[in-house]
Amino acid sequence: MSETPKKLLIAASGTGGHLFPAIATAEQLPEYEIEWLGVPDRLETELVPQQYSLHTVRLGGFQGRLGLGSLRLLSQVLQATLQVRQLLQRERFDGVFTTGGYIAAPAILAARSLGLPAILHESNALPGKVTRWLSPWCSLVALGFEAATSHLPKANSVVVGTPVRSQFLTNHELPTDLTLPPEAPVILVVGGSQGAVAVNQLVRTAAPAWFEAGAWVIHQTGTNDEAADSLQHDHYIHRPFFEAMAGLYQRADVVISRAGAGTLTELAFTQTPSVLIPYPFAAEDHQAYNAAAFAAANAALVCRQADLTPIALQDMVLTLIHNPERRAQMAAAAASLAIPDSAEQLANLIRQTLT
Ligand SMILES: CC(=O)N[C@H]1[C@@H](OP(=O)(O)OP(=O)(O)OC[C@H]2O[C@@H](n3ccc(=O)[nH]c3=O)[C@H](O)[C@@H]2O)O[C@H](CO)[C@@H](O)[C@@H]1O
């Protein structure tokens, strides 16, 4: 007689940085019956694969000071926790897995109040608030960066890196509709899953000097940039979002990027040198901590947006383009930060915790 499959609720919401590692982990658990917990109208409604039913609860962010907003949020969390408790009981789930952020709060609280295991993955070097508050109650906390350990002294933590999508493991092909001359230097600009308007502006001003040096610029602009179409050049390709990121990183000589944990993990995988401009308004400036870990390993150059002029960016990238030796050193340093079997490790830890 075959055993009933175990049921896992995955709580991951909002950004590619939270959703892609969760999807990558889910793909490593084919024997599990998996359902998803998210928020209406966020990225999960588009990104979560169809095979996972999506349940939603209403929740805002945990940013800002204490005040009326926090009270509203607290009441949302309590309400959501009750909803998730009912879901876990009704559908007989065996545990929850979450990649942090606000959706983690009701998932962890509901699971632990029912005595079910809760596994949390935190991809950032500076763990988010929800992770810091709730990690002592989690059965297991898996970490993307070693540096995060010191912020979670009471957690049962283990460093596994951050899982990447299967495209990073299987193929590094360029998108089929994108042809680039084989010898041309390529500068790839990415702004996280949402794009980065401030980086876009810097890049558009700096780019003519890069074109003059024979380079091509592939630019993910996001969907919020009104000036996205303002730069036109034969060596310039821009889109709001690219699906096949692995091939693009692989082809790029230099990547200019925000410092989200997902992107950094991928840059380590593809061993791509980078110039990082941490998003200055990220919660508690956490992207600066991610970037610092890469800078400390010599895998990236890091610039604060407030100090960065287009000329400085232009020159920094030109210097890298003209210095293959330096790029090779940075690539090797990036590779040393990669944990290639992160998704497998995490999936195995989930199996062990849910027995
Ligand atoms: C603004 C903000 O607070 N962002 C946070 C958010 O991630 P956010 O989604 O902003 O950034 P990440 O770098 O973590 O992830 C971006 C993901 O989107 C993918 N991508 C990007 C562009 C594109 O055209 N195509 C594409 O597929 C990247 O390959 C990557 O997998 O959660 C991360 C994990 O907690 C944090 O580290 C980030 O700081």
Q: Tell me the mean pLDDT in the region 170-187.
A: 86
User: Domain for residue 2, yes or no?
Assistant: no
Do 195 and 73 share a structural domain? no
**CATH number, domain at 18?**
3.40.50.2000
Do 210 and 140 share a structural domain? no
Which atom number of ligand 1 is nearest to the Cα of residue 239? 24
Q: Is the pLDDT of residue 67 over 80?
A: no
φ/ψ (deg, to 5) at 59: -155, 140
Q: Is the pLDDT of residue 216 over 70?
A: yes
Q: Is the pLDDT of residue 150 over 90?
A: yes
The count of domains in the chain is 2
Pairing of strands 118-122, 300-302: unpaired
Domain residue limits at 315? 169-336
pLDDT in tens, 197-208: 999 999 999 999
Do 209 and 103 share a structural domain? no
355 Cβ partners below 8 Å, 6+ apart? none
What CA–CA distance (Å, rounded) separates 272 from 5? 40
User: Domain for residue 295, yes or no?
Assistant: yes
Q: Is the pLDDT of residue 68 over 70?
A: no
Could you list the residues known to form a binding site for UDP-N-acetyl-alpha-D-glucosamine, using ranges: 15-17, 124, 165, 193, 287
Pocket test for ligand 1, best of 193, 225, 276, 294 (most atoms within 8 A of CB): 193
Q: What is the pLDDT of residue 72?
A: 83
User: Domain for residue 1, yes or no?
Assistant: no
Q: Is the pLDDT of residue 65 over 60?
A: no
User: Domain for residue 280, yes or no?
Assistant: yes
- How much distance in Å is there from the Cα of 249 to the middle of ligand 1? 14
User: Domain for residue 332, yes or no?
Assistant: yes
Residue located nearest, by CA, to atom 22 of ligand 1 = 193
Q: Is the pLDDT of residue 176 over 80?
A: no
Do 101 and 190 share a structural domain? no
Residues having CB closer than 6 A to ligand 1 are 15-18, 20, 123-124, 190, 192-194, 220, 241-242, 245, 260-263, 266, 279, 282, 286-287, 290
Do 276 and 253 share a structural domain? yes
Residue located nearest, by CA, to atom 39 of ligand 1 = 260
Q: Tell me the mean pLDDT in the region 228-246.
A: 95
- With contact defined as beta carbons under 8 Å apart, do 302 and 292 qualify? yes
Q: Whole-number mean pLDDT of the chain?
A: 94
DSSP 111: H
Do 80 and 229 share a structural domain? no
pLDDT in tens, 257-279: 999 999 999 999 999 999 999 99
Do 331 and 185 share a structural domain? yes
Q: How confident is the model at residue 61 (pLDDT cuts 50, 70, 90)?
A: low
Do 173 and 132 share a structural domain? no
Could you list the residues known to form a binding site, using ranges: 15-17, 124, 165, 193, 287
> 25-29, 49-53, 172-176: lowest mean pLDDT where?
172-176
Better pLDDT: 164 or 70: 164
User: Domain for residue 313, yes or no?
Assistant: yes
No. of helices (H) and no. of strands (E), the chain: 13, 13
Which atom number of ligand 1 is nearest to the Cα of residue 262? 14
Do 184 and 125 share a structural domain? no
**Six token digits for residue 3:** 């055993």
Do 215 and 153 share a structural domain? no
